[in-house]
Amino acid sequence: MGKEVKTNAMRMLDRQKIPYELMNYECEEFVDGMDVADKLGQDYEMTFKTLVTLGKSGNYYVYAIPVHRELDMKKAARAVGEKHVEMVPVKEINKVTGYIRGGCTPIGMKKQYTTVIHESAKQQDKIAVSGGRRGVQILLQPEDLAKASGATFADIIKEE
C-alpha cells in the first residue's frame, strides 16, 4: 500500500500535534456530504460539511455544519458580526480556499478566515470533516477542529 499523500489540512494538524484519523472512500464524482457519510457508515450528526460565505464587508467566512442541515444565513451573519452573508459560488471555492468542492475543509485554507462550527459538534466525541481532497475524511475531536481552524462554536443552522 502506498504512502498517504498529505494535504495541507493534514500537515497543519501534524504541525500542531493534533491527533486525527483518516478515512478514505471511493469518490469518482462528488455528490454531497450525506453521500460521503453513507459511504463511510457515519451518522449525519457527526459528519460536517464546510461552507464558505462572503459578507457585506467583503470578508470571507467559513462554517462547519452537520451534512444534513442547512446554514441559517441570518444566524451565520450574526455569529461573525455581519449584517448579511451569502454563499460563495462553487466556481470560486478553489480561488478563495485552495480546496475544491467536496474537498473543502476549515483547516489549512489559503488564508485564515473567521470560522464557526455549529454548536452541536460539542455533543459529539469526534466529528468528521473533509481531509482536504475528495475521497478523504478526517476524524477528530470538535475542540481540536476549533483549535486547528481558529473557530468558535455557535447556533448557525436552520431549525428543523
First to last CA, the chain: 43
What is the pTM for the complete model shown? 0.93
Distance CA 36, CA 59 (A): 29
Per-residue pLDDT tens over the stretch 11-54:
999 999 999 999 988 877 666 888 888 888 999 999 999 999 99
Per-residue pLDDT tens over the stretch 77-128:
999 999 999 999 989 999 999 998 888 999 999 999 999 999 999 999 999 9
Phi-psi bin for 17: left (phi > 0), alpha (psi -120 to 50), beta?
A: left
Q: Where are the alpha helices (DSSP H) in the chain?
A: 8-15, 33-40, 73-79, 93-97, 142-149
pLDDT at 38: 87
Higher pLDDT, 155 or 101: 155
Domains along the chain with CATH numbers: 8-154 (3.90.960.10)
As a dihedral over the C-alpha atoms of residue 122, residue 5, residue 94, residue 83, rounded to 10 degrees, the angle is: 20
